[in-house]
Amino acid sequence: MKPSQQEIISRHSLLWLLIINVVILLPLYDKLTPWTMAICGICLVWRYGIFMGKVAKPPRFLVTSLALASALTLALVTSKIGLLNGLINLLILGYSLKYIEMIDRRDVRIVVIVGYILIAITLLGQQSIYFSILLIFIATINTCVLVSLYREDVKLNETARIGVSLIIQSLPLAALLFLVFPRLPPLWMMPQLKTAQTGLSDEVSFGEIGRLTRSTALAFRVKFDGTPPMNHQLYWRALVLEDYDGQTWTRHESIKTLESNNLASSSMPSATGPWLNYSVIAEKSNQHWLFALDVAFSDTLDIIQLPDYRLYSTKSLTQTFQYNVKSFTSVPMDLSLTDNVRNINLRLPEQSNPRTHQLAESFATRYPNPVKRLNAMMSYFTEQAYFYTLSPPPVGPQQIDDFLLENKAGFCVHYASALTFMARASGIPARMVTGYQGGEWNKRAQYLSIYQYMAHAWVEVWLEGRGWIRLDPTSMIAPERILEGFDAYFQGRNSYFIDSPFSALRLRDYPLLNELRLTLASIDFYWSVWVLGFDSSKQEQVLHQLLGTITKQKLAFFMLTSLSLIILVIAYSAGLLHFTRDKDKVSSAYLRVCRLLHKKGVSRRLDQGPLDFCLKVETQLPVIAEDFSQLTQYYIALKYRTLTASGRKSTTKLFIRLSRKLKLKIIKL
Amino acid sequence: MMNRANPITSTKPSRASLWWNTWLARRLPPSKQVTLAHKSIFILPTGFGLLWAGLILLLFILGTNYQNNLIIGLSFLLASLFNTCIIYSYKNLAGLSLSSSSSPQAYAGETLVFPVKVSSKQAQFEVLLSYPDNQVNVIKVIKQESQVSLLQFNNLTRGRIFPRRLKIESRYPLGLCRAWSHIDLDNQVIVFANPIESQSELSALETDDISHTLNRGVHVQGVDEFKGLRQHIPGESLKQVAWKQLAQGRGMLSKEFQQPQGQPLWLTLDNLSSADIEERISQLTWSIDKLSERGHIFGLVIGQHKISPSDGESHRLLCQQSIALLPFRGQR
């Protein structure tokens, strides 16, 4: 069949296409290159022009040259923006160009198909519950475009009604499939989105963490099996920094090699002692490091454990990632130290911070015992007039000297740097650890939220017979910061609200609104755990709760029953299953009255017309004569007269009301 | 003399299509009035539906490879949408009533028109009706009030023409599934032969004078013989008004009278000069129309069969039909 008259896109469909183009491309704004954006804009304006009848269809050569130009620009920038981003931009450009040159229904169908793929791509980057609801909405609009191909003569809202009901009727089966369909491991490697990294950076210099303390973004959430530890025990290790060049702390090369080659073990060692089980839902950071307490292991796929007891994901966290952790809180780290590691953790750059060096050496001579020496160093921060601030005065090239002996003001990185430096200078192996400290407890959903502003740096020193020990010099200056959390020490308005004026965390000051914030956060948490993090183990857990022990027969039975139920419901709501047609309300009401009268001894002969019967009733039961004659009149009007639609409606209403009243009267007789 | 094959594409049917046709004939026997139900509706995915399935697979693989539950969920939603569409497709044909009514007359080579009355208890959208290899009629909305769709059917031959099964198709609501049915509305039309002009081929069987054939058998407006009734023209003599019919409520009609003039004319196949019998039939068809147009009285002789001389529309139809139904050469 050749494309005939009916294959041409109607104006109604064109309007829907205008809408869908805007709503599909808007959420993708952050992935578009400026060139793509410009071409999309041209296409949209052109299409609008066509819709308004102002311009004709673009000439063939224009579309071709636009396509060539965009492909060329993309080829040039792909190395800069990454392969996946390049492909996405290509797809978007194809979408926009097809959009201006489409002629018949086939083109519209292609545009709709590509639209769904673009929605899926949007979901790669954005996964919050609110965003997902928005995308279901967009998918509905995309479906409406298809509906509009077959319903051309109706209003926008009629098409929308059909589209929405199609989607709503499809949701239950989709949920069922989501629940029972087996989850597979990735089939092959996919190119990853290249986007800005967030959270902790892999190196720390003075001022580094200070920037993070201005961010209210969520870093990760933790759900404990059982009661969570106290705030001051919540040191979430993310990075161990062993190299110091006088300016910045970085990871040692050997660790970096292990990380990039995924060489470290991922097995669960036979550690003993008390442990904590918890699962962490990390927000996307586009980095590899994970967060865990103390000596931590994980059995989640794609996670390895590094020799410094950190957890490391072999894939960068391009989307929300959930993993299980088992942490041993009292197992020592590295009871023995190889010479190599010892040297790395004692090394200091030459001629760096000579005055601090001197101070450390004086500690060493005064306290030969390493433990006592460390205690003295820690106390040094309280004895002297140090104070904690997120906006410390500037430092020169000998930064630790300047901080420790001149400014005496700084935050965690300053104190941790100084302590690590002094420990190393006095002969104790020490390293800097960065991560997060504390967490906000959500009572409703029983989980901890860790925000970026809780980023923290502390020190680990190695002691003979005890392994690596955590020391937090900040706790000496600002103990509330550690014991009760960041918020106990700093008012939000002084730190993390400076850069995020619209953060929901601002609602903390208002109890009612804060409740609301926590409720919404709980919903988002459940979404992350049960939808984003729904994996085969969760699947098993849910099915087990639903069916008891899972057998194939049970599962098949469950599938079949739910499927047929769903199909029945859809068929019913589509208007298929109305076997019995609506009975004639008027006749049945009249007949009911007649039946009651029959019981009272006034029966109607089969051949007796309503008027005739009315006369009989009037003579035999004068009590209801007036009402019955009125009823008969309504009945005759409804049955035998042509009435307007509204007249019929109102008369039917009066008739039904009167028949009810009359029935009561007859019963009382 | 059943001529069910479509004359345009009368290729030899394959075994499979033969089986399919007999199966269909058993399942959906010919009927003047058909209401579609589960027995008569078939549903299969369209090409777009297959593309959709590809999209579902693509999204599922994408979601799996990125371990992204939302993309997997989207693919499930699209799969479920497909399922919903099957039900909607069925609903869009179920309960559709179709009935045939008589077709207007036509000559061979003309496009035939089969009027089909459609109605449905529930609103149905964009239903396509067509006879195979013919133009498709699109009915945007079908409601309870019945409407007539005039279906075209290309035809080249004379005789009794049965259109093949009527195809009813719908892709509503998303174009993913095609719900369709093939029904036989048991309609037919006798197609007259293609008229070919021939001046000299009329023959008179029962007279000797052949040269005057064209002037004989002509009626003159007269008073002797009642010819029929026609619409009364205001101003006409009231004597001619058919009062009886007026009393019956048939409106104001006038009686027409005529006088036969001369001998009736006889048409026959055998006297025509052309060698090809089909051509002679065509010429005869033309002659019948011409004579009727002029109001001649004529009779028709085909072999042993004889239609006695008369005139008027019903006589013309009778004559035309008898020639149209003449067996084709070698088909006896």
Tens-digit pLDDT profile for residues B168-208: 999 988 999 999 999 988 888 899 988 888 765 454 444 44
pLDDT, position B1:
36
Contact B185, B32 (CB under 8 A): yes
DSSP string, A202-254: SEEETTHHHHHTT---EEEEEEESSPPPPGGG-EEEEEEE-EE-SSEEE--HH
pTM for this structure?
Answer: 0.77
Give the domain extent around A642.
Answer: 585-668
Answer with the one of A511, A533, A552 that is the final residue of a domain. Answer: A511
Q: In terms of domains, do A250 and A394 share one? A: yes
pLDDT, position B331:
43
C-beta atoms of A166 and B91 within 8 A: no
Q: How many domains does chain A contain in total?
A: 3
Mark which residues 68-107 of B lie under 8 Å from A by CB. Answer: 68-81, 83-85, 87-88, 90-91, 94
Residue A567, chain B, CB below 8 Å: the answer is yes
Return d(Cα A125, Cα A133) in angstroms, integer. Answer: 15
Q: Decide if A186 is inside a domain.
A: no
Residues of chain B with pLDDT under 70: 1-13, 199-227, 234-240, 255-263, 270-275, 329-332
Mean pLDDT by 10 residues, chain A (669 residues): 58 88 89 84 86 80 82 78 82 86 86 94 87 93 93 84 93 92 83 72 75 80 89 90 88 82 61 85 89 88 85 86 88 84 88 88 90 90 83 84 86 89 91 90 88 89 89 83 70 61 71 85 88 86 85 87 89 72 74 86 84 87 87 87 84 89 85
pLDDT, position A160:
92
SS3 A168: helix
Q: Decide if A185 is inside a domain.
A: no
Amino acid of residue A446: Q
Contact A430, A461 (CB under 8 A): yes
Contact A635, A610 (CB under 8 A): yes
Return d(Cα B160, Cα B293) in angstroms, integer. Answer: 24
Q: Decide if A196 is inside a domain.
A: no
Q: Of A399, A388, A403, whose CA–CA distance to A352 is shortest?
A: A399
pLDDT, position B216:
47
Pairing of β B111-120 and β B147-154:
antiparallel
Residues of chain A in contact with residue B149, where contact means CB-CB under 8 angstroms, are none
Residue A146, chain B, CB below 8 Å: the answer is yes
Q: Of B74, B93, B80, whose CA–CA distance to B139 is shortest?
A: B93
Return d(Cα A274, Cα B18) in angstroms, integer. Answer: 79
Return d(Cα A11, Cα B256) in angstroms, integer. Answer: 58
Return d(Cα B320, Cα B313) in angstroms, integer. Answer: 10
Q: Decide if A544 is inside a domain.
A: no
Residues of chain A in contact with residue B85, where contact means CB-CB under 8 angstroms, are 166
Q: In terms of domains, do A472 and A368 share one? A: yes
Answer with the one of A496, A511, A526 that is the final residue of a domain. Answer: A511
C-beta atoms of B88 and A166 within 8 A: yes
Q: In terms of domains, do A240 and A317 share one? A: yes
C-beta atoms of A318 and B66 within 8 A: yes
Return d(Cα B178, Cα B45) in angstroms, integer. Answer: 6
pLDDT, position B214:
47
pLDDT, position A280:
93
Q: State phi, psi for A28 to the nearest 5 degrees.
A: -95, 10
Q: Decide if A553 is inside a domain.
A: no
Q: In terms of domains, do A374 and A495 share one? A: yes
Q: Decide if A518 is inside a domain.
A: no
pLDDT, position B235:
65
Q: In terms of domains, do A388 and A497 share one? A: yes
Return d(Cα A550, Cα A429) in angstroms, integer. Answer: 54
Mutation target among A105, A193, A576 for the B interface, most CBs of B within 10 A: A576
Q: In terms of domains, do A211 and A140 share one? A: no
| Angle separating helix axes A552-573 and A536-547, nearest 10 degrees | 80
Answer with the one of A112, A130, A150 that is the final residue of a domain. Answer: A150
* Side-chain-facing half-sphere of B224: CA atoms under 13 Å: 5
Q: In terms of domains, do A330 and A472 share one? A: yes
CA distance A502 to chain B (A): 27
Return d(Cα A618, Cα A611) in angstroms, integer. Answer: 10
Residue A113, chain B, CB below 8 Å: the answer is yes
CA dist B217 → A45, A491, B153, B213 (Å): 76, 119, 38, 8
Distance of CA B154 to the CA centre of its chain: 10
Dihedral sign from CA coordinates of A187, A192, A198, A201 = positive
Which of B61, B66, B88 is opposite residue A124, by nearest beta carbon? B66
Q: Of B146, B42, B140, whose CA–CA distance to B86 is shortest?
A: B42
Chain A nearest-CA residue for B132: A1
C-beta atoms of B79 and A174 within 8 A: yes
Amino acid of residue A501: P
CA distance B238 to chain A (A): 41
Q: In terms of domains, do A218 and A323 share one? A: yes
Mutation target among A111, A173, A535, A577 for the B interface, most CBs of B within 10 A: A173
Pairing of β A440-442 and β A430-437:
unpaired
Q: In terms of domains, do A252 and A352 share one? A: yes
Q: In terms of domains, do A211 and A145 share one? A: no
Q: Decide if A116 is inside a domain.
A: yes
pLDDT, position A216:
81
Return d(Cα B22, Cα B39) in angstroms, integer. Answer: 15
pLDDT, position A104:
84
Give the contacts of A220 (CB within 8 A, at least 6 positions apart).
Answer: A236, A280, A281, A282, A283, A291, A436, A450
Q: State phi, psi for B273 to the nearest 5 degrees.
A: -85, -30
Mutation target among A112, A132, A150, A179 for the B interface, most CBs of B within 10 A: A150
Q: Of A3, A103, A18, whose CA–CA distance to A63 is shortest?
A: A103
ipTM of the complex model? 0.77
Q: Decide if A168 is inside a domain.
A: no
Return d(Cα B98, Cα A40) in angstroms, integer. Answer: 48
pLDDT, position B9:
44
Of chain A, the end-to-end C-alpha distance in Å amounts to: 73
The arrangement of strands across the sheet holding B33-35 comes to B33-35, B96-100, B111-120, B147-154
Residues of chain B in contact with residue A6, where contact means CB-CB under 8 angstroms, are 126, 138
Return d(Cα A11, Cα B139) in angstroms, integer. Answer: 18
- For chains A and B, count residue pairs whose Cβ atoms are closer than 8 Å: 144
Dihedral sign from CA coordinates of A232, A236, A241, A246 = negative
Q: In terms of domains, do A209 and A138 share one? A: no
Q: In terms of domains, do A239 and A359 share one? A: yes
| Locus of tokens 């010479």 | A339
**Residue A221: beta bridge partners?**
A281, A449
Total residues found in chain A within this entry: 669
Q: Of B146, B248, B74, B202, whose CA–CA distance to A133 is shortest?
A: B74
C-beta atoms of B74 and A119 within 8 A: yes
